[in-house]
């Protein structure tokens, strides 16, 4: 128990908490998207999270005392992930279907571990690599099972693979830029504000590229779920950004990607009329858990 209070312990607990909080966000989004659009959800969530990050940074005194260099890295992180990464993923879904795009996009932890080794001189051991691969494999299986009945037939050709692959690479670059910013000043909440605001601006600028022009629509019901999701996503962002102020990318990112595991649990209890639990889902969840154990226990 005492080990959980060490930096390594918090480096495990916070990304797992991040994955749980983000899973709650996805459940809220699933409900909201029955009467709202994805871009509306992105804009609402990102703006609220950005406002929360700036507010906390102001209260902590880091907003006004910040240098100009670190926010540039934080904004670059937001442009890569919440901005270009989201756009590339949406384009991939449009061209090859969600069932094909999602597993490819789920390879982010592998790219992140590679980038961390190259740019941050991290040296993840064999157990971390094996656990990362298991998490990616399990997440891909869960994603395939989740969208199997909702996917459309056909593909967009081999060129369409570029979009979800590009999305996974862009998301993998996010913690690299974050770490560069933290090397200048460890201000995670200011980073959250800069990143999510920049991500929103990039998505809005890229709306003409999105399917149907990226419509922004939401009724009262959708807005309620968007607001709840914004709250849980703010918690997820705080956990993720705080963890990366002291823990390695190769530890934090794989554990933060346990999201589908918690989505399965939450969907079973709260979305029973929309979701069903199968043995494939149970097996995939077990693979994800095994990967998480390898990454955390043999660090």
Q: Please report the pLDDT score of residue 67 as a whole number.
A: 87
In 3D space, the residue among 202, 217, 297, 167 whose CA is nearest the CA of residue 40 turns out to be: 217
3-class secondary-structure state, position 218: strand
Q: What is the pLDDT of residues 78-104, one digit of tens each?
A: 999 999 998 988 888 667 665 566 667
Confidence band (pLDDT; 50, 70, 90) for 149? Answer: very low
Tokens for 4, please give them.
């959980």
Helix, strand, coil abundance in the chain, percent, nearest 5:
80, 0, 20
Boundaries of every domain in the chain = 13-148+157-297
Q: What is the pLDDT of residues 57-76, one digit of tens each?
A: 999 999 888 888 999 999 99
Q: What average pLDDT is seen over the chain?
A: 83
Q: What angle do CA 20, 182, 229 make, to 5 degrees?
A: 25
Instruction: Specify whether the CB–CB gap between 141 and 284 falls below 8 A.
Output: yes
Predicted TM-score of the model (pTM): 0.84
* CA–CA gap between residue 87 and residue 170 (Å, rounded): 11
CA distance to 106, 111, 142, 228, per residue, from 168 (Å): 7, 8, 17, 27
Q: Please report the pLDDT score of residue 152 as a whole number.
A: 46
């Amino acid at each position: 128990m005492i080990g959980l209070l060490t930096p390594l312990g918090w480096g495990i607990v916070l990304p797992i908490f991040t994955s749980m909080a983000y899973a709650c966000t996805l459940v809220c989004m699933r409900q909201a998207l029955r009467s709202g659009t994805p871009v509306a959800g992105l804009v609402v969530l990102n703006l609220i999270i950005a406002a929360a990050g700036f507010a906390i940074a102001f209260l902590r005194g880091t907003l006004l005392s910040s240098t100009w260099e670190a926010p540039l890295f934080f904004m670059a992180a937001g442009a890569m992930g919440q901005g270009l990464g989201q756009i590339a993923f949406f384009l991939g879904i449009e061209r090859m279907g969600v069932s094909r795009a999602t597993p490819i996009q789920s390879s982010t932890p592998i790219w992140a571990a590679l980038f961390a080794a190259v740019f941050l001189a991290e040296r993840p051991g064999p157990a971390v690599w094996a656990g990362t691969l298991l998490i990616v494999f399990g997440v891909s299986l869960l994603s395939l099972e989740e969208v199997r009945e909702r996917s459309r037939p056909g593909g967009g050709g081999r060129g369409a693979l570029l979009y979800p692959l590009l999305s996974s690479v862009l998301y993998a670059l996010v913690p690299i830029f974050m770490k560069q910013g933290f090397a200048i000043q460890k201000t995670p909440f200011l980073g959250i504000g800069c990143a999510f605001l920049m991500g929103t601006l990039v998505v809005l600028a890229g709306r003409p590229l999105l399917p149907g022009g990226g419509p922004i629509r939401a009724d009262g019901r959708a807005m309620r779920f968007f607001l709840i999701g914004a709250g849980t996503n703010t918690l997820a962002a705080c956990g993720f950004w705080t963890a990366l102020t002291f823990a390695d990318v190769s530890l934090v990112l794989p554990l933060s990607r346990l999201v589908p595991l918690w989505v399965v649990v939450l969907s079973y209890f709260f979305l029973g009329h929309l979701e069903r639990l199968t043995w494939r889902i149970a097996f995939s969840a077990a693979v994800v858990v095994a990967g998480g154990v390898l990454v955390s226990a043999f660090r």
